[in-house]
Amino acid sequence: MAQQDTSSKKPFRVIVVGAGIVGLSLSHALQLANIDHVVLEKHSKIVSLHGAALMIYPGVARIFDQIGILKKIQDAMTPVQGEFSRWEDGSILKRQENIRITSEKFDMPVILFDRQKCVTHLYENLPDQSMIRTSARVERIEQDHNGVKVWLTDGTFEEGDMVIGADGVHSLVRDLMWDYAEKSDPGSIPESDKTCLFTQYKGMFGISEKDGLTDFGPSEVNVLGGQDVTKLLFTQPGIVYWAIIYKDEYSQPPKAFKPDEKEQEETAQRFKDIKFAENTSFEDIWKRKTRSGLVNVEEGILDKWHAGRIVLVGDSAHKMTADIGIGANMGIESAVVLCNTLQASLSAQPPNYHPSPAELSKLFQTYQDKRYERAKLFVTLSGSVTRMRSYQSLWKKFFVTRIAPLSFMQKMQGERMMAGFAKGPKLDYVKTRTINEDAEGWKMGQEQANGMGWMAYAVLTSAVGVGLSYAAMLKWGLPAL
């Protein structure tokens, strides 16, 4: 171990870039670990209007319980009362039970929530909000053996021991990390990481008033397939959250996409006649909108999440499509694993310990090793579901409309998903507050540890689906693609 100057009065300090859901979760976790830090947010306000609905599954709900905001979120939302998969014309294909069963197994509701309100809860309930710095746009990062300095566009800077890039899929920190690695350690970042992200879909997301949309209940989840398009519609009392995810030009790496209001309106007109229910078209929803956005839907995962004193968390390292609503959950999980790794390392050291770059690199690699396979699995699974629901081959359409709804497939998929939620990480150094960890759902994760793993399950499900689809197509004289 390298010699450290433990006489320094400066504590170990973390600089987090990005105060979205992941960055604010990091601040909660770091404050609970008594780790000094600052969170830099380029915008002037923390609570932005970007994004629409958010699903919080049991694993992350447990983390929110640890940091003390779960009860407040639960009090502000209505548990899901209906879950439907629908045909392309909006008619009901099947009433689903996965969310209800998951809620029962874990003895708490799956959270269907407003992304903006989630950010509000995370920020307003921070023990110390002074650790969040707004209007702090990063310009460059300087690092050496003794520490790191993050320069801002206003000419000021923040100093510390490490930088966490929680600044999303268009991460500036990631670009600066690559620049540093190219100069200091050529070849340490795989060239494939520069192009691993790609886009094949775009997404229009928004929120509308529910008044007059009588096809939907007060708290529902609706999933619709379609040729080259998938549709999601969630409701809470008086509110409709919706998304249209549609196939577009393939680009690797993604091309810059900054649509204006005119392009949004043109896209809305393109899809105005598609159905969300038998008597509800997108035009009906669009004219009731209160906010909306049009974005690229990036996908992919980096092979190297760190270099020098910089490490990436969330969408800056692993980005997935929105069809299973798991992206924010995976980002928060990664933040928790990184904080667990930091807390365990620092607690074994003397006060005011300052690790060398080599020691940080080892710590960062430990974090990545704990997260990579799980994150990669959900990147792959999310992309597969998007392509199933958008009917990217005849067998995919057949699988998602004829095989997946079968009771035994629903049961198997539901059990594996619940086991996956149960195996999610939590803060190692903080107790839970209100949830029942003796609930049956948490035990499913323990059972999976001794049984079929996630990757084996994914392979089995795919094989069963392909086999059943192929047999049915031959029987009914359809081409088996």
Q: How many residues does the chain have?
A: 481
- Which region, left, alpha or beta, applies to residue 212 given φ > 0 means left and ψ of -120 to 50 means alpha? left
The backbone torsions φ and ψ at residue 443, rounded to the nearest 5 degrees and listed phi first, read: -70, -25
Q: Which residues pair with 12 in a beta bridge?
A: none
Say what the pLDDT of residue 50 is.
62
**pLDDT score recorded for residue 139:** 98
pTM: 0.92
| pLDDT tens digit at each of 481 positions of the chain | 333 444 467 899 999 999 999 999 999 999 999 999 999 999 999 876 566 889 999 999 999 999 999 999 999 999 999 999 999 999 999 999 999 999 999 999 999 988 899 999 999 999 999 999 999 999 999 999 999 999 999 999 999 999 999 999 999 999 999 999 999 999 999 999 999 999 999 999 999 999 999 999 999 999 999 999 999 999 999 999 999 999 999 999 999 899 999 999 999 999 999 999 999 999 999 999 999 999 999 999 999 999 999 999 999 999 999 999 999 999 999 999 999 999 999 999 998 899 999 999 999 999 999 999 999 999 999 999 999 999 999 999 999 999 989 988 888 888 989 999 999 999 999 999 999 999 999 999 775 544 434 444 444 444 444 444 444 444 444 443 3
* DSSP labels, 444-465: HHHHHHTS--HHHHHHHHHHHH
Find tokens 């969300």 and name the residue. Answer: 276
CA distances from 472 to 361, 402, 407, 468 (A): 52, 10, 17, 6
Alpha-carbon Rg for the chain in angstroms? 23
pLDDT on residue 48: 64
Predicted local distance difference test score (pLDDT) of residue 453: 46
Q: What's the rounded Cα separation, in Å, for the pair 41 and 375?
A: 25
Question: What's the pLDDT at 460?
Answer: 40
Bridge partners (DSSP) listed for residue 13: 36
Which pLDDT does position 6 carry in this prediction? 42
Question: Measured between alpha carbons, how far is 266 from 286 in angstroms, rounded to an integer?
Answer: 12
Describe the strand order of the beta sheet including 198-209 as a list of residue ranges: 92-95, 82-86, 220-224, 229-236, 239-251, 198-209, 289-301, 318-319
Closest-CA residue to 120 (of 129, 108, 111, 130): 129
Amino acid at 195: T
